[in-house]
Amino acid sequence: MDPIQIYDTTLRDGTQGENISFTVEEKIRIAHKLDDLGIHYIEGGWPGSNPRDMQFFKLAEKDSFQTSRITAFGSTRKPGISPSKDKNLLSLLESNASTVTIFGKTWDLHIEQIMETSLEENLAMIRESILFLKESRREVIYDAEHFFDGYKENRNYALETLKTAFENGADCITLCDTNGGTLPFEITAIIKDVRKFLKIESSPSTTSLKIGIHAHNDCGLAVANSIAAVQEGVTMVHGTINGYGERCGNADLITIIPILAIKMGYPCISEENLKKLRKLSRYVSEIANMIPLSTRPFVGKSSFAHKGGIHVSAIMKVPRAYEHMDPEIVGNKRRVLVSELSGKSNIEYKAKELGIDLSDEKIDYRKIVNEIKNMEMEGYQFEAADGSLQILMQKFTDQFAPQFELISFRVTVEKNKDRPCSSHAMIKISVQGQEEITAAEGNGPVSALDNAMRKALGKFFTDLNLMHLVDFKVRVMDGRDGTSAKVRVLIESRDEESLWSTMGVSEDIIEASWQALADSFHYKLSHNVNR
């Protein structure tokens, strides 16, 4: 079985995604994480399009990468000029990247109606650009842009562009589903034809030619199309971390890699590196400032989560009864949710996971289950708030040791005619009998309360500066009550080692926010004590 090479374009194609942008320093940091994972090619950017990408290559050249080949991206020469005068091609050489990827047109619609040139000139652009780069001893990957759409409308010409790229020295030809509209069975049939064509029309050495796949996700099929391509002999797969990219995104390497390595047995990265997938996914989402997708296959928070009592009872006996693989292989972990659907098995498993001792014979499981179900009737949702659930179960079993107690707080919001609202909070807490009163401002009442809490607790505890709020959600439980409706506040927090969620429920949004905020600090401080 031929090994599969993974080509990552997060730093270029991934940044085409809405609201995603990386600084040069962030791109270098991500590149090192990709290198540590064992990615074969890292596309660093398009040096001919902007100074920032060129700066990346200058910094990367001075750096050291153990596994990955840093790759520069560009296009074939423009119509009507020689390669030696084309700024994009010259910038590829200036980047000093040992591997360059250039895209060329394969769809006659783009050639004649968008570029407004001839089909013959397009073939010359492909041929001369590849020869020019090969003369400088670069590994050349040729991206056949819009290949599948071009093939459907003009098969012979689309194949002729591939033949031109191959015969003039391209080391790999990547077939691109640029619009993301091709279906898996079409991918299979077309790649079969491509392989047949290249073997018939080209020299016997064709078998050494690498063929790649570059799929977009506009039909939700980028991963499926990439897998279908591999089944037809493709040996290089393009994609991005978390599937980031323009429109609906690119093929998600976080999903593709374990499918190839675990499900299909294709060598692509080592077993040891597979365990880094979840952390890499979270790392890139953090730098991109994108909330991690809970339902992301393999690495998502919910991808190995179990809610129904029957399911939980089964996985406690035989995990594979309801799991397609061991989550630890990709650095994830099994989670059991506690909700109105919970039974004794859920409570037992969750207690073990959260480190809560239920060995005392006086503990009544049914009472815990019933109390949780009653609270969920009131609007709590513990499956989304492990931090609050841990504190609640500790209280039920007399194992809760609060690190602080609230005495009182006051929050004021002031609005002047020509100025935006300003918020102030004053809080009084007790820590081991010692009282502390502090005040702080914030960008809203919850922010002010959070700042005042940090200021007060900072007198007694360290490392609170490492704790950050990641997400804040407010949900109206029943809109029929209007502004008097009960609300649920969910806060997600993180430090350098973990991520946790807490919540509060009340008719008063400030009270609900306080409950969630207080639980978040209790969770953080209790873990600091237990480390």
Q: What is the CATH number of the domain that holds 349?
A: 4.10.430.20
Tens digit of each residue's pLDDT (9 = 90 or more) over 189-245? 999 999 999 974 444 444 578 999 999 999 999 999 999 999 999 999 999 999 999
**66 shares a domain with 109:** yes
Strands 487-494 and 468-476: antiparallel
Helices 509-530 + 386-396 axis angle, to 10: 80
Q: N- to C-terminal Cα distance for the chain? A: 46
Residues 47 and 170 in one domain: yes
Examine the domain organization and report whether 322 and 458 are in the same domain: no
Identify the band that residue 531 occupies on the pLDDT scale cut at 50, 70 and 90.
very low
Instruction: Specify which of 91-105, 186-200, 394-408 reaches the highest per-range mean pLDDT.
Output: 91-105
pLDDT for the residue numbered 203: 43
Q: Is residue 394 part of a domain?
A: no
Asked if 267 and 34 count as a contact pair (C-beta separation under 8 A), the reply is no
Query: Is position 81 within any domain?
Result: yes
Q: Of 212, 215, 180, 170, which is closest to residue 195 (Cα–Cα)?
A: 212
For residue 278, tell me if it sits in a domain: no
Quote the domain boundaries for residue 349. 305-376
Task: Assess whether 16 and 156 both reside in one domain.
Answer: yes
Question: Does the residue 274 lie in any domain?
Answer: no
pLDDT at 513 over 70: yes
- The answer to whether the CB of 299 falls within 8 A of the CB of 243 is no
Provide the pLDDT for residue 344.
Answer: 67
User: Does 411 lie in the same domain as 367?
Assistant: no
Q: Which CATH number belongs to the domain containing residue 503 in this structure?
A: 3.30.160.270
Q: Is residue 44 part of a domain?
A: yes
Can you tell me the mean pLDDT for 297-320? 85
Q: Judge if 117 and 211 occupy the same domain.
A: yes
Q: How many domains does the chain have?
A: 3
Mean pLDDT of 130-148: 97
Count the alpha carbons within 13 Å of 59 in the hemisphere toward its beta carbon: 17
The mean pLDDT of 374-392, rounded to a whole number, is 82
Answer whether residue 269 shows pLDDT above 60. yes
Same domain assignment for residues 117 and 9: yes
Which of 57-66, 364-373, 432-441 shows the lowest mean pLDDT across its residues? 364-373
Q: Are 80 and 51 in contact (CB under 8 A)?
A: no
How much is the average pLDDT of 277-287?
Answer: 91
CATH, residue 136: 3.20.20.70
Average pLDDT over residues 62-90: 96
Q: pLDDT: is 348 or 50 the higher one?
A: 50
Looking at the structure, tell me whether residues 419 and 517 fall in a common domain. Answer: yes
**Max CA distance (Å), the chain:** 86
Same domain, yes or no: 124 and 17: yes
Is 70 exceeded by the pLDDT of residue 343? no
In which band, very low, low, confident or very high, does the pLDDT at 529 lie, cut at 50, 70 and 90?
A: low
pLDDT of amino acid 495: 81
* End-of-domain residue from the set 224, 242, 269: 269
Both 38 and 167 in one domain: the answer is yes
pLDDT value, residue 372: 78
What integer best gives the mean pLDDT of the chain?
90
On whether residue 396 sits in a domain, the answer given is no
Q: What is the DSSP letter of 262?
A: I
Tokens of 5: 């090479």
Mean predicted confidence (pLDDT) in 11-28: 95
Domain check: are 170 and 221 in the same one?
yes
Flag whether 430 is in a domain.
Answer: yes
Q: Which of 376, 391, 424 is the last residue of a domain?
A: 376
Does some domain include residue 294? no
Domain end position, chosen among 241, 269, 297: 269
Average pLDDT in the 158-166 region?
A: 97
Region of poorest pLDDT, from 4-18, 412-426, 478-492: 478-492
- The pLDDT value given to residue 477: 76
Position 341 scores a pLDDT of: 57
Q: How much is the pLDDT for 339?
A: 60
Q: Are residues 370 and 415 part of one domain?
A: no
pTM as predicted: 0.75
Q: What is the pLDDT of residues 98-133, one digit of tens each?
A: 999 999 999 999 999 999 999 999 999 999 999 999
For residue 206, the model assigns a pLDDT of 43
- In which element (H, E) is residue 94 found? helix 87-94
